[in-house]
């Protein structure tokens, strides 16, 4: 129970801090001519992440799984996800957001983790959505929410973000 409490405290603290940063970046972008895309599906990600945490807690409390012998692998994935996430956030600076916001000075990022991955923040979140519950032995949560997250990213979010960037970049040239 101590492990769950510690992990959730860290996770919730991260999410709240990131939402504050995203809101600040959103306001800054809008003051600089920003335009939001995909606002109609943003609630799906809020719901997914909220339900993921609730499912992880519920599965852990009701099924009381044990840590698997290879828990260090999942702890390593969690650490890698955090490093990748904050590297992406740091690289994007004021351009980072939990929403799709495009503004005049933006261009496609090619430095930092973007040299290696087209969407490193989404990769970090995917790792996290699987690794946190897997670390706790909450396999149902790990599998169900990994599939749901992948479906939302591949079908909804990434195509919307790519369209927004493509439209913005074509208008600039």
Asked if 77 and 127 touch (Cβ cutoff 8 Å), the reply is yes
Dihedral of CA atoms 30, 33, 38, 41 in degrees, nearest 10, equals 10
Span between the terminal Cα atoms of the chain, in Å: 55
Helix (H) / strand (E) containing 37: strand 35-37
Q: Using the 8-state DSSP alphabet, how is residue 107 labeled? A: -
> Is the confidence at residue 165, as pLDDT, over 90?
no
- 68-78 pLDDT per residue, tens: 888 999 999 99
Work out the percent of the chain whose per-residue pLDDT is above 90: 79
pLDDT band at 173 (very low <50, low <70, confident <90, very high): low
Q: What is the mean pLDDT of residues 38-67?
A: 93
Which CATH number covers residue 56?
1.20.120.1630
- 97-155 pLDDT per residue, tens: 999 999 877 788 999 999 999 999 999 999 999 999 999 999 999 999 999 999 998 89
Which residue segment(s) compose the domain that 78 sits in? Answer: 2-172
Looking at every residue in the chain, the average pLDDT score rounds to: 92
- Work out how many domains the chain is built from and give that number: 1
Closest C-alpha to 131, from 64, 84, 61: 84
């Amino acid at each position: 129970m101590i492990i769950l409490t510690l992990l959730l405290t860290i996770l919730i603290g991260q999410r709240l801090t990131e939402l504050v940063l995203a809101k600040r970046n959103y306001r800054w972008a809008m003051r600089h001519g920003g335009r939001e895309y995909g606002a109609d599906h943003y609630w799906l990600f809020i719901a997914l992440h909220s339900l993921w945490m609730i499912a992880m807690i519920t599965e852990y409390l009701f099924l009381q799984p044990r840590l698997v012998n290879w828990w260090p692998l999942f702890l390593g994935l969690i650490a890698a996800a955090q490093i990748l996430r904050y590297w992406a956030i740091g690289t994007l600076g004021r351009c980072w957001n939990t929403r799709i916001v495009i503004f005049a000075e933006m261009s496609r990022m090619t430095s930092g983790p973007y040299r290696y991955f087209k969407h490193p923040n989404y990769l970090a979140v995917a790792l996290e959505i699987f690794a946190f519950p897997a670390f706790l032995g909450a396999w149902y949560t790990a599998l169900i929410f990994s599939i749901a997250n992948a479906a939302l990213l591949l079908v909804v979010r990434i195509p919307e973000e790519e369209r927004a960037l493509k439209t913005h970049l074509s208008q600039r040239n």
